[in-house]
Amino acid sequence: MNYNKSNVRLGVLFWLLYFLYEWIGQATISNEYYRYFINACVIVPIAALATWFTTQILIKKFLLKKRLVEFRIWFIVSVIVFTLARRSFNYFYTYPTFYNTHWNQPFLFPPKLIIEAVNIYLIVALYTMFYFLRAWYEQQRLAQELQRDKAVAQLELLKNQVQPHFIFNTLNNIYSLSLKNSPRTSDLIYRLSSLLSYMLYDSRQEFIPVSKELEYIHNYIELEKIRYGERLDVSVNCFDSVDQFTIPPLLILPLVENSFKHGVSNDVGNSWIRVDLSVKDDWLTVKIENSRVSDTLNGHAVYKGIGMENVKKRLEIIYPDRHEFKCMSEGQSFLTILKIKKR
C-alpha cells in the first residue's frame, strides 16, 4: 500500500512539473500564457496516456513476459495513435489559430510526424526510467527485508535450540543428586532458577554485555562442579576489561558446555577446563581449553552436536567476515578459539 501511494505521488509530481513546463515554461518566452495553457491541457494528457500504455501494457504485460511479437506490434500501433493525436491538435488548432500555416503542408508530413513522436516519447522514456528505477529500488529493499527477517527467524530458532538442550542436561544433574538425597540439591535448584531467569529474559535481547554471559557461565560451571566434585578443576580468567563489548546471548556458553560434554564427562580421573578472555584492537578473544581422553575420542567428534553447530551458524549470520572460530585437538587437550570484532 505504501509503495502504491508513493507511485501515485511520483506520478502526480512528475505530470504537474511537466504541465507547468509546457504552460509557464513555454509561455514566458513569448508571453502567451493562454495559448500555452490550452496547449498544456492537451499535450500533457496525450503524453500521460502514452506513458501509461507503455509502462502498464507494453512493458508489464508483453515485454516482461517475453511476448516480444505482441510488444513490437502494439508499440508501433501506439506510436502511430499518439503521434497522430498530437499532430491532429497542432494541425487543426494550433497552426490555424496562431500561425495559419497548416494549409501549406499535408497532415501526414513526415518531418512534423517525427517531431511529434520524439516530443511524446522523450517524456515517455523519462518517466519510464524513473518508474522502473523506483521499482528496482523497492525490490532491493524488499529483498533486504526478507533476508533480514529470515536471519532473525533463523537466529530465534537456533537460540531456542540451545535453551532446551541445556535445560535437559541440567535437569539430569538435578535428578542424579535427588536420587542420592544430596543436601546440595536445593542449591542446584536455586542456581538453575537463576539460569532459567537469564534464558527467559536476558536471552530475548539481541545483544547483552559479555559480563552478563560470564555470570551465566559461572552459574553453569558451579552446577557442573557439584556433579563432578573434587576431580574437576575449572578456572575462568578475564585478562582485559570487556565492559565495552556486547555479544548475542548464549553464544559462549555452548563452547563451555562442549568442554564438559566431550571432555570432562568422558574422563573418570582428574579433569580440567580453562576459560580465558582477552581484548586487543577491538577484537574479543575467547579461549576454552579442556582435558580429554584421547583413546576414546577422535579429533572430529567435538565438532558435532547442537551446541557447536548453533555457534557456527549464529556467527555466520551475526558476524559475517568479522569473526574467527577454530577448534584444535592435541594429545590430551582440546582447544576452542573464538574471536569477535567489536560492533
| Alpha-carbon span 58 to 65, nearest angstrom | 10
Give me the domain span that covers residue 20: 2-143
> CB neighbours of 216 closer than 8 A, spacing ≥ 6?
195, 198, 202, 249, 250, 253
136 and 222, same domain (yes or no): no
Interval 70-113: pLDDT, tens:
999 999 999 999 999 999 998 888 888 877 655 577 888 888 89
Which grid cell is 149? 527477517
> CB neighbours of 113 closer than 8 A, spacing ≥ 6?
83, 84, 87
202 and 270, same domain (yes or no): yes
pLDDT for res 103: 59
How far does Cα 280 stand from its chain's mean position?
29
121 and 187, same domain (yes or no): no
Which grid cell is 150? 529470515
Q: Which of these three, 121, 143, 165, is where a domain ends?
A: 143
Q: What CATH number is attached to the domain comprising 209?
A: 3.30.565.10
Interval 113-150: pLDDT, tens:
999 999 999 999 998 888 888 878 877 777 677 566 55
135 and 251, same domain (yes or no): no
Examine residue 169 and state whether it is found in any structural domain, yes or no.
Answer: no
Q: Which of these three, 143, 168, 201, is where a domain ends?
A: 143
This prediction's pTM: 0.52
> How far lies 229's CA from each of 187, 195, 221, 234, 297, in Å?
14, 20, 11, 11, 23
302 and 213, same domain (yes or no): yes
Q: Which residues in the chain show pLDDT less than 70?
A: 1-6, 100-103, 143, 146-166, 199, 265-268, 294-307
Q: Which of these three, 143, 174, 195, is where a domain ends?
A: 143
The domain tally of the chain equals 2
pLDDT for res 300: 47
Examine residue 167 and state whether it is found in any structural domain, yes or no.
Answer: no
